Amino acid sequence: MRAKGYSAFSYADLSKIVGITKASIHHHFPTKDILGEQVVIQAFSDTQRQFEQIEATAKSAEKRIAAYVDLFLQSHRASLLPLCCALSADTANLPQNITEQTSCYFDMQIAWLTKIVQGGVDAGEFFPHTTPSDMALIIINLCEGASVVARATARPEVFSNNLKYINLLLNPLPFGE
C-alpha cells in the first residue's frame, strides 16, 4: 500500500512479499477492507513504539523532531510513501473503516508532535510564533509533503531542508537579524 496505494494493492502482491498463498491471506483477512484496516492499525502501533524509542533515546525536543523527520527519510530510502500519505491520496476510493483509522493515525502523530513541541517550549528550547498544536500541523504537513516531492523528484535533500525550516519556525530569529 505504501508503494502503490490502496487501489493498486492486491492479495497477489502480499502473497509474493510474504511467501504464502492468496488463499491463506484470504483465510485471515476475508476482505481487502479488513486487511487494509489491520495494516493501518499495525502501523499505528509500530509508530507509537517508534515514538517511545525516540523519547527514550533523544533527550531534547529538537533531537526528537529531527528523529521524526528522519522516519520520513528512512521511508523514502525504502521507496515507500508514509502510509497516511499513500492512503490519503486514495481517500475517494477508501472504505470508511480505513478512512477512520487513517484519521486516527494522523491524530496520534499530531498529538505526539504537539507534546514534543510543548515540551520544547516549556524547557525554553523552542520559541515558536504559533501554538504547539499549530506547529505540530506544520511539521507533519512539511514531512508528508516532502515525501511526495522527494519521491517525484528523487531529491532526498528535501528532508534536511525541511528540518532546517522546522528549526527556524521553532526558533525564529528576531526581526531585523
| 112 assigned to some structural domain | yes
The CATH number of residue 134's host domain is: 1.10.357.10
| 2 assigned to some structural domain | no
pLDDT digits (tens, 9 = 90+) for 137-172: 999 999 999 999 999 999 999 999 999 999 999 998
Distance CA 122, CA 63 (A): 15
pLDDT digits (tens, 9 = 90+) for 93-135: 888 998 998 899 999 999 999 999 999 999 999 999 999 999 9
Report CA 66 to chain centroid distance, whole Å. 13
Asked if residue 177 has pLDDT above 60, the reply is: no
pLDDT, mean of residues 15-29: 77
**Looking at 53-62, 80-89, 112-121, which range is the least confident one?**
80-89
| 44 assigned to some structural domain | yes
Asked if residue 62 has pLDDT above 90, the reply is: yes
Please tell me the pTM assigned to this model.
0.86
Torsion of CA 9, 12, 17, 21, to 10 degrees: 140
| 108 assigned to some structural domain | yes
Distance CA 149, CA 39 (A): 24
- Stated as kind and residue range, the H or E segment containing 167 is helix 157-170
User: Comparing C-alpha atoms, which of 135, 112, 124 is closest to residue 48?
Assistant: 112
Contact 110, 137 (CB under 8 A): yes
User: Comparing C-alpha atoms, which of 68, 92, 76 is closest to residue 150?
Assistant: 76
| 41 assigned to some structural domain | yes
pLDDT, mean of residues 52-65: 97
Contact 5, 39 (CB under 8 A): no
Q: At what angle do helices 11-18 and 32-57 cross, to 10 degrees?
A: 50
Contact 21, 15 (CB under 8 A): yes
| 177 assigned to some structural domain | no
| 93 assigned to some structural domain | yes
Q: How many independent structural domains does the chain possess? A: 1
Question: Could you list the residue range(s) of the whole structural domain that residue 153 is in?
Answer: 11-170
pLDDT at 11: 77
Asked if residue 39 has pLDDT above 60, the reply is: yes
| 175 assigned to some structural domain | no
